[in-house]
Structure 1
Amino acid sequence: MTRDNFIPEHRRYSQRLARLEKQNNSAQAREHQPISNKVVGIKKQRRNSSKKRISVLVWIFGLVLLVMIYIISPLSKVTDITISGNNELSNERVEKATTIWRGRLIWTAFFAQRHLEHEAKIRDPQIRSLKVKLRGPQSVHVAITENHLLGEGQIGKQKYAVLTNGQLQLTTAQNTNIDFKGFEKNREQLKFLGQQLGKLKPVIYHGISSIEYQPTKESPHQIILYMKDGNTVKANLTNVGDKLKYYPSILTKMKGQGVVDLRVGAYSYDYGSKDK
C-alpha cells in the first residue's frame, strides 16, 4: 500500500473510532443518570396507568347504571301485544297462557321464549308452538300454531275436548264439532283416534258429525263415522287417518248416499243396495 492510499484509510478508521467512543459515552451517561429522574419516570407511568383503569371503571359503572335506569323505567315494559295464528283461541286466552301481559319486562318475554312456550303448552294444550318477536321498544308480536279442536268425548263422568295431537282437555263448553261416542272406558283409544284424525286436512274432519267406537270380534278396532253429507264410513281406529284422506275421491264415484267401507281395502255401496 502506498503512502497516499494509507492516509485516507487511516482517517476513516479514526472517524469510526470517534463515533464508537461517542456512542459508548452516551450509553454510560444514560446509565448513570440521577435516581430522581428514574423515580419521576416511574411515577408518570403509574399515573397514566391509573388514569386508564379509572376511565374503564367509569365506563363500566356508567353502563351498568344506564341499564338499571332502563330496567326500572316504563320504557322497558310491554305496552302493545299483537297475536297471530290463533283461529280457535281468543287473544285473551293466548295472553293468559303465555303470561305475556302489558307491563311485563319486554326482554324477559323475548329471551325466555322456550320457557314461555313450555309453560303455555301446559296451561293450554291447544297451543302447539309459540314465537315472540320484538316489533318496537315496547311492542311484541306473539305468533302461535294451534292443535285444532276435533270435538268432545265422554270418559267416565268427565267431558273432554279432543285435539288433533291426541291430547284430551277437560271442558264444559258446548260441543259444536265431532261427537265421540263409546269411549267412556277407552281413554287411550280416544287419544289415538285424535292423533289419527290430526293427519287429515281440516276440510275432511270438519265433515264428520259423530264417531262411534264399535269393536267386534271380527273387527276389534272398528269405528263408525257419520258424515255431515249423510254418508256412513266404516273404518279401523288404527289406520283411519291414512285411509280417510281418500274419502273425497271415493265420493266422486258414488251415485247417492251410502256406506264407505275402509276396513279392508276401500269400497262403497248405496243404502238401498244389499248390505255387504
Structure 2
Amino acid sequence: MGQPLWTVWHHDQQLSKVANTNNDLIKQVTVTTHWWDVRLDAKEYLQAGNLLRNGKYYQVIENGRILKTPLTHPTAGYPVYSGFKHDATFALVIQQYAGLSKDIKRGISEIDLSPTKANPQRLHLFMNDGNEVYASPASFRAKMKYYPEIAAQMNGKGIVNLEVGAYSYPFPQHKSKSKTKHGTTNDHVQTSR
C-alpha cells in the first residue's frame, strides 16, 4: 500500500515468489493490474493432516511441508500421522492422501507407519467408523476408493487389508474399547502401539 503502481507492473512472478517464501500455505499468487489498482489472488495449499512428533502436533499441507509451529491439539477433521520421518515415504503418503475423495479423507482418523518384515512401508489406518485398514503407500489412493464398498459388506467391525489385493475379516471376539492416539474412542482390538 502506498507504493507507486509502476513498481508492481511486470513484477508478478517476483511478487509470487516473495509470497511463497514468506508463507508456506501459499501455493500461487496471481497479480492483476488495472489502470489504478492492483488485485492479488492467492491460492493456498490444503491441509493434509497433523504429524505427531515428540508429543507435539504439526500441521502438514498437501505439498508435503510440515509447518514449524506446533499445535496444542490436532486440527479436527484431519488424520494424525505417526511413526514417519520427513522422507520419501511420508511425501508419497501425503501425495496419495491428497488424491482421495473428500468422503474417504473425512473417514480417516489416523495413519501410522507400521512396518513388517514383509512390508517395511506398511500403513495402518484407523477409520472413524471403527474399522482398521492396512495398505501400502504406492497403492494407497488407488485401493482406498474401494474401502466404502468393502466396509458396507462387512458383518461388524474389523480389518480391511489392501496391501496385496483387497480382503477383510472381523476383529477377534475379545474386542475392547481403546483410545486412538489423539483421544477419540474407537471399538477395536487393543494393539501394542
User: 2: CA distance between counterparts of 1:199 and 1:144?
Assistant: 21
| Distance (Å, rounded) in 2 between the aligned partners of 1:109 and 1:271 | 62
| Corresponding position of 1:179 | 80
d(CA) in 2 for partners of 1:128, 1:252: 37
Cα deviation for residue 113 of structure 1 reads 1.5
User: Which structure's residues are more often strand, by fraction?
Assistant: 2
Code of the residue aligned with 1:192 in structure 2: it is: L
Tell me, yes or no, if structure 1 residue 192 matches structure 2 residue 96. no
Given the superposition, is the C-alpha separation of residues 168 and 250 from structure 1 closer, same or farther in structure 2, using an over 3 Å criterion?
same
* 1:272 to 1:130, Cα distance in 2 relative to 1, 3 A: same
**Residue type of the partner of 2:86?**
R
Q: Distance in 1 between matches of 2:4 and 2:145?
A: 46
Would the aligned equivalents of 1:168 and 1:191 in 2 still touch at CA under 8 Å? no
TM-score norm. by structure 1 comes to 0.54
* 1:1-276 map, 5 Å: 102-134=1-33, 137-138=36-37, 140-155=38-53, 159-173=57-71, 174-176=73-75, 177-183=78-84, 186-188=85-87, 189-272=89-172
Shift of 1:194: 1.3
TM-score, normalised by the number of residues in structure 2: 0.74
The 1:105/1:209 distance shift into structure 2, 3 A limit, reads farther
**167-176 or 205-214: bigger deviation:** 167-176
1:168 Cα shift?
2.0
- 1:3-45 Cα deviation digits (max 9, x unpaired): xxxxxxxxxxxxxxxxxxxxxxxxxxxxxxxxxxxxxxxxxxx
Name the CA shift for 1:156/1:271 in 2 (closer, same or farther; >3 Å): closer
Greater relative contact order structure (CA < 8 Å, 6+ sep): 2
**For each residue in 1:171-206, what CA deviation from the matched residue of structure 2 results, as whole angstroms up to 9, or x when unmatched?**
2233122211112xx220323321221122233223
How far 1:107 moved relative to its partner? 4.3
Q: Kindly state the Cα deviation for residue 272 of structure 1 after the two structures are TM-superposed.
A: 5.0
| Residues 165 and 195 in structure 1, CA contact (< 8 A), matched pair in contact too | yes
Unaligned runs of 5+ in 1: 1-101
Q: Which runs of 5+ in 2 are unaligned?
A: 174-188
SS of 2:17's equivalent?
A: helix
Return the letter of the residue paired with 1:168.
I
Q: Is the 8 A contact 2:56 2:70 kept in 1?
A: no
Could you say which structure has the larger radius of gyration? Answer: 1
Residues of 2 paired with 1:126 and 1:231: CA distance?
A: 32
Q: Percent identity?
A: 32
Aligned residues: 170
Alpha carbons of 1:107 and 1:204: their partners in 2 closer, same or farther (altered >3 Å)?
Answer: farther
